[in-house]
Amino acid sequence: MPHESYMFQAMSLAVKGAGHTSPNPVVGAVIVKGDKIIGRGWHKKAGMPHAEIEAIKSAKEGVSGAALYVTLEPCCHWGRTPPCTGAIISAGIKKVVIGHNDPNPKVAGKGVRALKAAGIAVVTGVLRDECRGLNEAYIKYITSGMPFVTLKLASSLDGRIAAVGGASKWITGIEARRHAHRLRGLSDAVMVGVNTVLADDPELTVRFVKGKNPVRVVVDSALKTPLSAKVFVDADKDGLIIFTSDKASRAKATKAKALGADVVRVSSAKGGVDLKEVMKELGRREITSLLVEGGGTIAAGAVKKGLIDKLCLFMAPKLIGGDGVAVIGPLCVKDPAKALPVSGMTIAMIGKDILVEGYFKGI
């Protein structure tokens, strides 16, 4: 079988770790001997054995002389686990085929060099773009120190997230909401602005599908979040971070902390807090992927600051009208030619709703 066929199988294993490996990447590996796959593995969770080790352990026969197909360059340094290059060399594997090189400075070509120095044949770049796509959050995090940010929006066909008066439940159907909860489960954290908390009192947990609850993040410059809000439920277990400013009440901050919230004061910016500072702080906390769910004000603020990497827009087949609430706040675009472009766009039907996905910038 050609390299691509084996790499596709490694990729199918890698996705099994999605939502569980952060701050590590998702990685899959297969071991091939005599045109037969004899070992399979994937990275299941940070701190657990890497995909290469799992594949070697799972092999039903000796791997000496075999070829290893792995979606990401094997690590060559001690972290939470030993280096994979050492295990590969010790196992007697003679060829390693890699999807894409690891941008982590601790690896970044060093893994390839270590394998070659041991006399192992190395092939790189097989299904490179597809393998990189598996780790878009990890790549952004490891190269910038900030999370990969996905903006999730749900609107009517005419771009409204609520009717006149503010009623917003439910614009999209159950299938779209289930898909949105799946996005939550795959994200390290989910973020909303205080206006969304005040209007909708969201739980920001994963329901409808199986998955872990993300860390909840609320941007609230004046600390208006009610202490009775649902985001405080299990805050000490799942995590709740409230980003606020110096103008917030210290007495209320103390009460919020007693309920399990981590109240973080950051610099003020026009209309609220400095969102870039928020992203940097989330990165310091090893949050590699962030799902921004709204509302329109925080969405516009993040877009204007260039902090959004990916767009997921659900559109319901209905019209609300110009007196409804816009899906995104003012961006001050005076010339359509200078509007923010969305690239790599895909369109799919999710139940009766339309899902448009695309990227604001390359990864």
- Residue 355: CB partners within 8 Å, gap ≥ 6? 176, 179, 312, 313, 314, 315, 347, 348, 349
- Region for 166 from its dihedrals, namely left if φ exceeds 0, alpha if ψ lies in -120 to 50, beta otherwise: left
Per-position b or e across 76-104, b if 16+ CB within 10 A of its CB:
beeeebebbbebbbebebbebbbbbbbbb
Q: In sequence order, what DSSP letters do the residues of 106-136 get, joined into one string?
A: TTTTHHHHHHHHTT-EEE--TTHHHHHHHTH
Q: Calculate the CA 178 to chain-centre distance.
A: 17
Count how many residues are written for the chain. Answer: 363
Q: Which one-letter amino acid corresponds to residue 90? A: S
DSSP character at residue 260: T
Largest CA distance in the chain: 70
**Catalytic (active-site) positions:** 52
